[in-house]
Amino acid sequence: MIVMKFGGTSVESAEAIRRVAGIVRERLAQRPVVVVSAMGKTTNKLLEIANMAVGGDARTSVLGILGVLRDFHLEQAAALGIEDSLNKVPFGITATFKELKQLIEALVVMRELTPRLIDTISAYGERLSSLVVSAAFNRLGVPSLHFDARSVIKTDARHTQAAPLLKETYEQLRISVPSVVQSGSVPVMGGFIGSTLDGVTTTLGRGGSDYSASIVGAGIGAEEIQIWTDVDGMLTADPTILPGGHRVETCSFAEAAELAYFGAKVLHPATVLPAIEKNIPVRILNSRRPEVAGTLIVSNPPPSDKPICSIACKRNITLVNIVSSRMLMTHGFLRRIFEVFDRHQTSVDMLATSEVSVSLTVDNTRALDAIRSEIESFAEMTAEKDHAIVCLVGENIRGCPQVSARVFSALGGTKTRMVSQGASQLNISLVVAAADLVRAVESLHSEFF
């Protein structure tokens, strides 16, 4: 069995869903289980409608936007030839939007949007998309059975970011999914959503659909988990900075984790932890170009002669410098600094220290003024905006002594404000001015790729 997860852009329209049906049809011999995100930007629109409802917008305006969203789903269903069949079932599109309308009308009166209600409302996107995709599969010659993900993905009650109860979830998956696959049907369920043991709807938070796919894959012992998106896989550079980067054929989960932390958005490894724990390969594929082999992420990739796997970037970085000669030879300087950042819930990306000074980077400046007021009781602090982090990631960095020399040679006259290497032995990270970012990435990519 394999798990195939299709993101929002892969199921955003009737045309896209037909393409997905074709992809799945070609892989029926691998006994697929399909997990889908909401169609396009449906979840964002649902939350926008909910916020309008509690924010005082006119009832007619709120329900008008909801009607547009309903009509979109009905139009796509009609284009697929499944509108009539879907609306005959008690939980079809029309019935689901009637239920949703009643909930939104209640919000207009209540004027309160609790985390539990946020989960209930945002879950409608995946509930609808999984219904549409399953019905479309049957219409297009792919035998399918719809699963309400809430019946198999069991979680705690931390609404908007629930944690799966893996023991209970794996048991539900083991009981219900393999028998359907063995009968020749393709199970289709929505990602991102689950429910408590009491049946209350929950969501898994950021990257929830990838997380769902990973949980399902681990629960059924899948041979591979495929994440179908709108890119060919991981690339050797951020395409918004350097178009034309090469596709990364294979990388490790550790490399993927570093790349995700420093800006790569194709996959966040935290969402595939169940796959990592079960040692299930994860493959990133493009639903618009299914012939491309994509990127395979595994625990132990085959040896490579390239020291660098990819170059990631993190923009909108602020460089913070903290200096205090009074702290010379004084115990606890770093502890005092990080206690301040912790109190203000501000994460640090990079760090460089000397005896009396600390340089660090942050991407969230919301609490920086409050942090400064505390820091200045024992040190001087300055903050410089408009910087970026360039991160070179590769398992082979630790074994190639010339990598650092090649990095600085390639950068030439580009000024670096901070350098970090050694914490993970998988990356070399540099801070440069935002204005120098493109030039730095181009130079480094030319050197290593």
Could you tell me the pTM of the whole model? Answer: 0.88
CATH of domain 310-448: 3.30.2130.10
Rounded to 5°, the CA angle 270-273-275 comes to: 135
How many C-alpha atoms does 348 have within 13 Å on its Cβ side?
20
User: How high is the pLDDT of residue 422?
Assistant: 67
- CATH of the domain spanning 7-223: 3.40.1160.10
Q: Which residue has the higher pLDDT, 90 or 95?
A: 95
Q: What pLDDT was estimated at residue 365? A: 94
The full set of domain ranges for the chain reads 7-223, 310-448
Q: How far apart are CA 333 and CA 220, in angstroms?
A: 50
Q: Residue 424: pLDDT band by 50, 70, 90 thresholds? A: low
pLDDT at 332: 79
Query: pLDDT (tens digit, 9 = 90+) per residue, 101-132?
Result: 999 999 999 899 999 999 999 999 999 999 99
The SS3 call for residue 235 is strand
Could you tell me which residue, 378 or 186, shows the higher pLDDT? Answer: 186
147: left (phi over 0), alpha (psi -120 to 50) or beta: beta
Residue 132 confidence (pLDDT): 96
Question: Mean of the per-residue pLDDT values for the chain?
Answer: 92
In angstroms, rounded to a whole number, what is the distance separating the alpha carbons of residues 87 and 437? 52
Could you list the beta-strand ranges (E) of 15-166: 32-36, 144-147
Burial 117-138 (b: 16+ CB within 10 A, else e): bbbbbbbbbbbbbbbbbbbbbb
In this predicted model, what pLDDT tens digit does every residue of 429-449 receive, in sequence order? 999 999 999 999 999 999 999
Helix (H) or strand (E) holding 297: strand 295-298
Q: How many helices (H) and strands (E) does the chain have?
A: 15, 16
